[in-house]
Amino acid sequence: MLTPPIEPMLAKPMGHAVPTEATDLIFEPKWDGFRCLVFVTADAVVLQGRGRSNSAPGGVVDLAYAFPELVVAVREQVPVGTVVDGEIVVENAGRLDFAALSSRLRPRTEAGGGNIARLSVELPASILAFDLLWASGDVMHEPFQDRRRRLEQLAQAWEPPLLLTPTTRDPDVARDWFERFESAGVDGLIVKPLADPYSPGKRTQGKIKHQRTIDAVVAGWRPHARSGVDGQPVIGSLLLGLFDDVGVLHYVGASSAFTAGVRASLVGELAPITSAALEPHPWRGETTANIPGEANRWKKEQAWIALRPERVVEVTYDQLEGRRLRHTAGFVRWRPDRSADSCTFEQLETPPPSRIEALLA
C-alpha cells in the first residue's frame, strides 16, 4: 500500500473563464480549505497536509491530531487499504469558513487535547473527497474518469462528515457554479482531463479563479526579508487601504512579488511621502480602523513603514475574507489620475448570496 508522504497532484492557472468546448474535461469546485491525503491502514488514519516538518516522522505533517472527528468517521466508513485525495473544510452559516478552519490548528500539537476536543464540537470539519489513489491496489495509473467511478462507488456508503465533491462535464453547469457559489466559499474551478493518471507533484490539472481590480491607497510598506545590495531595507510589499463610508482608512491587504530592482527603486520613489514617526497617520495611535502590523495566524507581529496616504495603485484580487483581500494582490500600475479619497469599499464586487448546501446536494 502507498505510505506517506505522497505529493498531491497540483493545478496550474488557466485563466479566469470557463472553456466553452470541453469534450475531454471534467469540472469540480475549487474548495477553500486544507488539502489532505487520507491514508487508512490497519494501525492508523493519517491526514497528510501540504506542509512538511523536519521534526515529524518522514517529514509528514499529519493533521489527524487536530481533527479527531474526521479520524473517527474515516475509521468507521473507509475500508483499510484506501488512500483518498480531498479537502478539509469547515462549514459555517451556509458557507465555507477558512478562518474557522484555520483556528482548528491552534494549538498546533496534541498537547492541547481539551481545546482540540472543544473545537471539534464547536467547529466540526468535513472532508470533500475528489480523487482516489489506492483501493486494495494502486489506481493512480488509471484515467481520472475510472478513478472517479471507483470513488463514487466507495462513497455510496459514506455519511457526513465524509462528502463527495460534485463534478460536471457541462461547461454551462461549471460556469453556474463558478458564478453562483463564490459567496459560499467556492474558490473557483478545478479542470481535470478525463484520461489523465494521478501524477504526484505535477501540475497537469487546471484551475480557474476569479480576478478583479480595485484602486487602493498605498499607506505603508513592509521590508523584504533580504536587504538591498547596500545593506539597507528594500520594499517587500505595499500596504493597501480603502476608505469606509465615514472616511476611515482601513488596511485591506498587500501587494508584492516585485523584482529585486523594483524593490530597491520603490524605496527612493516613495521616500518623499515616507511618514516620520511623529506625523499623524490613520493607522497610528487609537483608531477604529483595521491596521497592518497585527500578528497574523502563523507569524509574529511584522514591522512596517508608514507612508502619507496619497498615492493610488491599481491591483488585481480574486476574493475577499471579510473586509480584507483573501490573497496577496497583484500590482498592475500606479494611478496618478486618481485621488486617495476616491478609493472606497464601494469598488468591491459583492457576489450574490448563496449557500454551500445547494451545491453539495
* Mean local confidence (pLDDT), 174-185: 93
47/196 same-domain check: yes
Domain membership of residue 323 as a residue range: 212-347
Q: Which residues are annotated as catalytic?
A: 30
Same domain, 171 and 261: no
Domain-embedded: residue 183:
yes
Domain-embedded: residue 306: yes
176 shares a domain with 61: yes
Detail the DSSP E strand segments found in 1-81: 10-13, 25-31, 34-40, 45-52, 60-62
Boundary residue ending a domain (184, 210, 236): 210
* 253 and 236 housed in the same domain: yes
Instruction: Give the tens place of pLDDT for each residue, 46-75.
Output: 999 987 776 666 778 899 999 999 999 999
From 149, 165, 136, 142, select the one nearest 33 (Cα to Cα). 165
Q: Are residues 255 and 293 in the same domain?
A: yes
Residue 251's CB is within 10 A of a number of other CB atoms, namely 24
**Which of 210, 235, 263 is the C-terminal boundary of a domain?**
210
The set of cell numbers assigned to 351 is 457576489
Tally of CA atoms within 13 A in the half-sphere of 89 that contains its CB: 28
Same domain membership, residue 234 and residue 130: no
* Dist CA 150 CA 145 (whole Å): 9
The count of domains in the chain is: 2
The model's pLDDT over 296-306, given as tens digits with 9 standing for 90+, comes to 444 445 789 99
CA–CA separation, 288 and 249 (whole Å): 9
In a domain? residue 2: no
pLDDT of the residue at 83: 98
CATH number (domain holding residue 217): 2.40.50.140
Q: Where among 192, 210, 228 does a domain terminate?
A: 210
Query: Are residues 114 and 250 part of one domain?
Result: no
Instruction: Note whether 170 and 263 are same-domain residues.
Output: no
36 and 167 housed in the same domain: yes
Eight-class DSSP state of 201: T
pTM over 0.85: no
The contacts of residue 102 (CB under 8 Å, 6+ apart) are 297
Regarding whether 114 and 32 lie in a shared domain, the answer is yes
Instruction: Please report, for residues 132, 221, 239, 284, 315, the alpha-carbon distance to residue 307 in angstroms, rounded to integers and kept in the order given.
Output: 51, 8, 9, 11, 18
Nearest residue to 166 (alpha-carbon basis) of 47, 26, 49, 38: 26
Q: Which triple of cell numbers denotes residue 237? A: 510589499
Residues 218 and 86 in one domain: no
72 and 188 in a single domain? The answer is yes
Mean pLDDT over 101-106 rounds to: 86
Q: Is residue 361 part of a domain?
A: no
